[in-house]
Amino acid sequence: RQEDLADRLLALGRKTALRMTSATKELDHASMLYDDEGLPV
C-alpha cells in the first residue's frame, strides 16, 4: 500500500510539473515560506 501511495504521489507531481509555467518554476518559493533565519513565516 505504501508503494501505491508513493506511485500516486509521484504521478501527481509529474502531472503538476507539466502544467507549471517557466515563471512559476523560477520563483524562489523558500523566500515566501521562510524568513531570513529559516523559520516559517
The answer to whether residue 17 sits within a structural domain is yes
- Model confidence over 1-41: pLDDT tens digits? 888 999 999 999 999 999 999 999 899 999 999 999 999 99
The answer to whether residue 8 sits within a structural domain is yes
The answer to whether residue 38 sits within a structural domain is no
The answer to whether residue 41 sits within a structural domain is no
Instruction: Give the pLDDT score at 22.
Output: 93
The answer to whether residue 19 sits within a structural domain is yes
Query: Which domain covers residue 26, as residue numbers?
Result: 2-33
Tally of domains in the chain = 1
Instruction: Give the pLDDT score at 12.
Output: 98
Instruction: Give the pLDDT score at 2.
Output: 84
* Cα–Cα dist 29/33, whole Å: 6
Instruction: Give the pLDDT score at 1.
Output: 85
